[in-house]
Amino acid sequence: MNRRRFLTLAGSSLASLYALGQERELHADVVVIGGGVGGVAAALAAARSGYRVLLTEETRWIGGQFTAQAVPPDEHPWIEMFGCTRAYRDYRNGVRRYYREHFPLTAAARANPTLNPGNGSVSRLTHDPRVSLAVLEAMLAPYAANGQLRILLEHRAVAADAQDGHIRSVEVQPTGGGVSRVLHGDYFLDATEVGDLLPLAHIEYFLGSESSSSTHEPHAPAEARPGDIQGITYCFAMEYRPGEDHTIERPRDYSFWRDYVPTLRPQWPGKLLSWTAVEPRTLKPRTHSFDPLVNEHGGDGGLWTYRRILDPRNFTPGYSPAGITLVNWPQNDYWLKSIVDVAPEAAARAREEAKQLSFSLLYWLQTEAPRPDGGAGWKGLSLRADVVGSEDGLALFPYIREGRRILAEFTILEQHVGTDARAALTGKPREELTAEVFTDSVGIGSYRIDLHPSTGGENYVDISSLPFQIPFGALIPRNGDNLLAAAKNIGSTHISNGCYRLHPVEWNIGEAAGMAAAEALRTRSSPSAIRASSQALAAFQRNLTAAGFELSWPRLSPR
């Protein structure tokens, strides 16, 4: 079975979505490098505006965090009512519609307007990544059908023809080897997971933690730490089949990971492969529970229900014995080595070590993890490779929380969005606080400043933030005239990026970048010039609003 075609919308043919031909040189108005959340949104926006688009993706699945990285959407509490673009809401509605049209739901689940297929505690829409893939493909299909959009799967950028901040073309190469292609365009959008296009095109960027002396952020370190970035995670899907034995072969590095005690600042409470981790907000020890038979035993299920994507109670009896969950836990965050701005061999070793950690966590769960009844391990935990579309059972791509960030026309600081930082800066009581108001807003988002343990040995930083805006200036590099940041690589700091990296915000950034490229083409002006002109900026923002963007928040409480 072709896993990419496991789910397809009834009556539609998406073969043209990936049709390429034999051309070595491809031309478009807008070239989007990276087919993750931001990249899909950027391509959709530019094509919707009537322009020709080329979209590349390193894996065989578009969708990034939604699909290839197997991370259910992390969203703010008001997402069902407001706080996203119209297109993002179309995506969310499409997921629920897909379940109603194609899955054996119970009558109650089918009638539930806010159906959460997995009833996971992390999100109001925990669901199978293959459903996201089908919905995103369907959203792009009309533009592929008329030839406006062409998608190059399993291609990555390897070179760029750029001079003085202007990109003429980008060379992409199949990830499995083969003939490279040269992509020509008027505008190039970097929507890759770590900002791949920035060093290739000589766009100025920063990687790691800025110093407090340079940003004056309360949570920045005293000295800059270039390369100190949050860890990555190879997520995986597993189901539980009571009475069966699905124990995997003992992982090669299991002995190391079973005994590994993290050395972080502040200190981790014990072994990584343990039910006791830290509470990110307080950094005090927190013992997790885990029960794959929570529907029988009661309780909250702990980590089993955290990112569960299939709750049997939503489906007809017998469809799934205990459900399916995605594992993206503290126990499989990998931070020993960086994969960014290191030699390819070093990056490959780090990714392999990260995979070994995830396999070791699964093996520990199957064989040694303490059970509430005094036993050890759940042999019935089964790795579901089909759910994540891979051969080895892990997600096609690691979950990337942080990469290169452009040196932008405007940089977002903790003081612009952090609750305590805003209180100190403005002197206002908490109930009157708002995030910084940006006159060049191109969207909104909300999430806590959430930083995971880093390659520099720092533990969690998890602090309150205020519902925020996305400034247009953060998408525009200082030294690039036809490149825009279209994902988590915007002009932010190590600290502030912690609340700008999640699904609906990345979508908004990408969609805004696609709209900005279209506006620049339509007006024959640069994004920088549009931002600098109050009249041009106002016209652009009116176009954003007409396209379903929300540019400011109603009065809300801090998170």
The predicted-structure confidence for 142-159, as pLDDT tens digits, reads as follows 999 999 999 999 999 999
Which pLDDT score is estimated for 19?
A: 60
Other CB atoms within 10 A of residue 25 CB: 9
Can you name the residues that pair with 205 across neighbouring β-strands?
Answer: 406
Q: Which two tokens stand for residue 157?
A: 């950028």
The burial of 253, by beta-carbon neighbours within 10 Å (0-12 exposed, 13-18 middle, 19 or more buried), is given as middle
- Ordered by start, the domain boundaries in the chain are 13-72+127-226+401-559, 232-288+329-388
**Who contacts 90 (Cβ-Cβ below 8 Å, separation ≥6)?**
139
Which pLDDT score is estimated for 3?
A: 35
Confidence of residue 16 (pLDDT cuts 50, 70, 90): low
Q: Are the C-beta atoms of residues 4 and 162 closer than 8 Å to each other?
A: no
The residue-averaged pLDDT of 47-63 equals: 98
**Residues 436, 415: Cα–Cα separation, whole Å:** 8
Confidence of residue 556 (pLDDT cuts 50, 70, 90): low
Q: Are the C-beta atoms of residues 45 and 514 closer than 8 Å to each other?
A: yes
**Residues 272, 266: Cα–Cα separation, whole Å:** 14
Which pLDDT score is estimated for 191?
A: 98
**Residues 123, 266: Cα–Cα separation, whole Å:** 29
Which pLDDT score is estimated for 14?
A: 52
DSSP 105-147: B-HHHHH-TT--TT--TT-TT---HHHHHHHHHHHHHHHHHTT
CATH number for region 13-72+127-226+401-559: 3.50.50.60
- Phi first, then psi, for residue 407 (nearest 5°) are -80, 105
pLDDT, one tens digit per residue, over 207-240 is: 999 999 999 999 999 999 999 999 999 999 999 9
DSSP 75-102: --TTTTTSSS-HHHHHHHHHHHHHHHHH
Q: What is the pLDDT of the chain when averaged over all its residues?
A: 95
pLDDT at 83 over 60: yes
Other CB atoms within 10 A of residue 22 CB: 6
Cα angle at 88 between 551 and 44, to 5 degrees?
100
Query: What's the per-residue H, E or C state across 271-304?
Result: CCCCCEEECCCCCCEEECCECCCHHHHCCCCEHH
**Residues 534, 556: Cα–Cα separation, whole Å:** 28
The residue-averaged pLDDT of 19-42 equals: 92
